[in-house]
Amino acid sequence: MKRQTKAGMLAGTLLIAAGMTVFAGAAPAQVFGGHNANAPVNFDAGRIEVQDRADRVVLSGAVRVEQAGLVLNSARMTVAYRNTGGIEVDRIDASGGVRIVKNGDTASGNAAIYDLNRRLITVVGNVQLTQGTNRLSGGRLIIDLASGQSTIDGQAAGRGASGVRNSGGRVSGTFTVPQRDPQ
C-alpha cells in the first residue's frame, strides 16, 4: 500500500468536493429554508383538548398545522404554550404518520418535535426527505429553519417522541444527475 502525500490527499478531497457540487446543483442544499417561525400557527383537527393547568393543547384526528406555508400533518399533536397575556406556542410534538411539506419539499417520519424558540424541527423513525426526484432516508432528521440546513443521521438518538426505539442504520438516498451531452 502506497503512502499518500498531502498533495494527493488534497487532490482527492477537491475531487470529492467537486462531485458533491454536482449533486448540490441537482437540488438546492437548503431544504425548508427561508421559513418565518414568527408567523401565526393555524391548526385543524378532529378533536381538541385544552389542558390549561399544564399549558398545553392536545390535538387528534388527522391534525394539520400550518405556519407561513410550512404544513405539518400527523395523527396527534401536543402543543406546549405560555400564557403571557396572549398565547405563545413554544413547542409542537407530533406522532403518527408525520409529514412536513413546504414549497414541494417533503419530510416524513414516525414522530417530530418542532421547537419554535430554537427554530428546529427534529423528525425520528423511518425518516424520508424528498426534494423533487432526490430522496434521502435515515433514522433522524434535523431541520434548522434559521439556516435552512438539514442533517440526516442513520440512527435516531434514544426513543422518539412516540416512545418507539428506532433501529440503527445508515443514511441512504438517490440524487438526480443532470443529463449531459455525450462527448
Of residues 161, 157, 158, 156, the one with CA closest to residue 171:
156
Write down the pLDDT at residue 111. 97
Here the CATH number for the domain that contains residue 51 is 2.60.450.10
Question: Does residue 4 lie within any of the structural domains?
Answer: no
pLDDT at 168: 54
- Determine the pLDDT at residue 30: 55
* Angle made by CA atoms 102, 103, 106, in degrees to the nearest 5: 50
Let me know if residue 42 belongs to a domain: yes
Mean pLDDT (10-residue bins), the chain, 183 residues: 39 31 36 78 95 94 94 97 90 97 92 95 94 91 88 68 51 84 78
Detail the DSSP E strand segments found in 103-178.
105-115, 120-131, 134-144, 150-153, 172-174
Backbone angles phi, psi at 133, to 5 degrees: -95, 0
Residue 133, domain extent? 31-174
Domain-embedded: residue 115: yes
For residue 20, tell me if it sits in a domain: no
The per-type count for the chain, helices as H runs and strands as E runs, is: 1, 10
Integer distance in angstroms from the first to the last C-alpha of the chain?
35
In a domain, 106, yes or no: yes
- Whether 139 is in a domain gets the answer yes
Count the domains in the chain. 1
